[in-house]
Amino acid sequence: MADDRRPAADPTPPAAETTPPAADPTPPVPDGRRRAAWPAATRDSAPYPLPHGPVPPPTSPRGRGVDRLTPEARVWADVLASVFPDVGGAVTDAAEARRILARAPSSPGAPPPVGAVTDRSVPGPADAPDIPVRVYRPAAPGPAPTVVHLHGGGWVLGGLDLYDRTCRALCRAARAVVVSVDYRLAPEARFPAPVEDAYAALVWAGRHLGDLGGAAGPLVVAGDSAGGNLAVAAALLARDRHGPPLALQALAYPALDAARDTASYRANAHGYYLTATHLRWFWEQYLGPGGDGGHPLASPLRADLAGLPPAHVVTAGCDPLCDEGRAYVRALRAAGVEAVDDHCPGMFHGFVGLADVLPEGRAALTRLAAAIAVPLP
């Protein structure tokens, strides 16, 4: 698509924050669910409305043995599992899954304040639409890292509003400018369209670092789950297409191999919120019939990783994707790339998004934010 169809770039910091969206970064309670009689302190601090009923008792996935989740993590994993769309099971249509999330009530309480929030569009890939982004600026003046953030949701769900609190928390903790990217979703836009969107947003941010972060760098690519997959794929394209230069990959429980054939995938297939059924369905939507799951941009764990930027990788011990994240760290090190294995044994997929209520989530977010802040002189 010709350049004249795109809005002019305007990365100038706004004078004040725009009205924050009311959505939440974690899977919320769909309409029609019973509302909750949970302990007031837990309910008031939760990042989304809780369902009615007693706190679920700690249970192992198979109803026997010792639960590998911490007691607090078990409560939240069960809550999330009870409200998340049953994708790949009762819910097989992407639009229906999105409607379930869209009908959810808004989150209680104001979102974490930051210096300013601005919605805009940036140029997309050739012959593709412009990409909506949301730019978060820290309250403190002065140079700051710029983080291009790719949201999770299995390449099918999620967006700017759903990840608003996550990006605000990252902006505050890292004192960084965060560019949240509303890339095209599958199955309407299958691989490699979301990868190209992620890279286009990275290119735009790289060209405007001085205006975004107030410095000539550093530029960080970040993402969780499917967004972690896109973050790594965008880093591969940045290497192969000669820019922009990246200081860090900041990843949380990334999905990195379409084969889905690891010990953690089998051990954590059920009972820990994200399931093997969910992942199979997400990959099917992303790749489509006959899609090439072995392509290194679809399954970055199979790529040549030499020359990539350093990585900080958060993994959860009770996550089907755990072994993929840890294998990525080992593969990076074997390729001569510095990588941190930030492994959290008693946690589950998505726990960093519960930093307000899970101490382990808060600690992991703090470590990830510290890694982002380190490259800044």
The answer to whether the CB of 346 falls within 8 A of the CB of 73 is: yes
The whole-angstrom separation of Cα 184 and Cα 159 is 9
Q: Name residues whose C-beta falls within 8 Å of residue 155's C-beta, 6 or more positions apart in sequence.
A: 185, 186, 191, 194, 226, 229, 230, 282, 285, 286
Q: Tell me the C-alpha distance between 223 and 7, whole Å.
A: 26
Name the active-site residue from 208, 278, 312, 349.
349
Catalytic residue at 82?
no
Catalytic residue among 225, 264, 299, 323: 225
For the question of residue 151 being annotated catalytic, the response is: no
Please report, as a single letter, which amino acid is at residue 203: V
Q: Can 295 be counted among the known catalytic residues?
A: no
SS3 of residue 240 by DSSP: helix
How far is Cα 287 from Cα 296, in angstroms, rounded to an integer?
Answer: 13
Per the CB < 8 A criterion, the answer to whether 318 and 308 are in contact is no
Q: Which one from 257, 319, 323, 342 is the annotated catalytic residue?
A: 319
What is the pairing mode between strands 219-224 and 339-344?
unpaired
Catalytic residues: 225, 319, 349
